[in-house]
Amino acid sequence: MGFDPMILISLLYAVIGVRVVVQIARNWRSTWDSRFTQSDRVLVDQASFFVLVPISVILHELGHAVTIWSFGGSVVEYGFYGFAGYVSFDPRGFSDWQLILVASAGSFVNLLLVLLALGLVFARRPRMRAAFNELLIQFAFISGINAFIVYPVLDLLSGIQGGDWHQMYDGGVPALSAVIGVIHVAVLVSGYWLFTNPRMKARMASLTDVPPGFERAPMGGIRPGKIDLTTLNPAEALLHDAGERVASGWPTRVQRTIQRFNGGTALILEWSSGSRVHAIAARTFANGSTDLVAIPIIPGSTTPQPPRTLHRWMTRPDVSSLTMGMRVAMETIEREGI
């Protein structure tokens, strides 16, 4: 028997999956309660990949099998690797359109699962807890990417005649392949819109209790949110202009991000000094007060750390004062190694 790398990858996947299940079992109440912490978010995102994806793979292959049986065929072999699988059958006696439907059945199941997951998140009243919403949104994203981007690309580039997507697009029934192509494009466009549209991103952030000023990252976790610079109000324009001045005179590259939160806006400045990454935030509030805070950055951590106040103005400063304050704050952070 030759060495099959898929077996080794499958075993590793299973070990990690079991570890995730054990962690969830040990922290069941705190993971699914109404207080959704960042550590909970990391665990739930892992569960979507290592627990729900294998279930979707089983249902994907079952979709192939049911279609084969409905056309009078028999499944001769079935394989399951956790993150992937296959169903083999004797194609003799099947027409071209039946073979295309067999090939497309698994992806159709994936599409139904994605729609069901998103339907539960967006349509259920009252809304589910943030942990459940995060689980389903992340599953929909991963399952959709896998079923409608990764698998088709690998299938079509490999040139294997028996591949599902090769069969769907080159199965001898152009009209049926064209319909599948239209559905495929519609799914990709809809998915791109869902995860890039500002309004939908804000809604998903709300449904998954993302902290103000942050947004869901495409592959799970959270990241600083971004806003359109053309929509800045005067207070936000002040932050932007001061940040530009600081960046233009700083010896290393300074990354600037403006984030809105309940009651105000923050300008995040990130830069490197040697092997350290530093960050500060200039925050302006609706009442005019403005402060500068240090943001501790811990390598490898996805949990936002509590900020440390460096300076505060009771009324909104002018651009020169704010610029000078940010430069002094950055020098202080580098000197103290924050």
1 pLDDT tier (thresholds 50, 70, 90): very low
Tokens of 112: 């139904």
**pLDDT tens-place string over residues 49-82:** 999 999 999 999 999 999 999 999 999 999 888 8
Residue 198: predicted pLDDT: 79
CA–CA distances in Å: residue 190 to residues 45, 113, 115, 144, 178: 22, 15, 11, 11, 18
Residue 326: predicted pLDDT: 95
Does the pLDDT of residue 130 top 50, yes or no? Answer: yes
Q: What is the DSSP letter of 305?
A: P
**pLDDT tens-place string over residues 266-292:** 899 999 887 788 899 999 998 999 999
Q: Among the residues of the chain, which ranges form H helices?
A: 5-26, 28-32, 38-47, 53-70, 96-123, 130-145, 151-158, 164-169, 174-196, 198-207, 234-249, 319-336
Residue 4: predicted pLDDT: 66
Residue 50: predicted pLDDT: 94
**pLDDT tens-place string over residues 212-267:** 667 788 778 887 666 667 778 898 899 999 999 999 999 999 998 888 777 888 89
CA proximity to 269, closest of 294, 306, 237, 298: 294
The per-residue pLDDT of the chain, averaged, comes to 89
CB burial readout 250-270, b (16+ within 10 A) else e: eeeebebbbbbeeebbbbbbb
Tokens of 336: 């103290």
Asked if residue 219 lies in contact with residue 297, where contact means CB atoms within 8 angstroms, the answer is no
Taking only Cα atoms into account, the Rg of the chain, rounded to an integer number of angstroms, comes to 25
Does the pLDDT of residue 127 top 80, yes or no? Answer: yes
Sign for the CA dihedral angle at 256, 260, 263, 264 comes to: positive
Average pLDDT over residues 84-98: 91
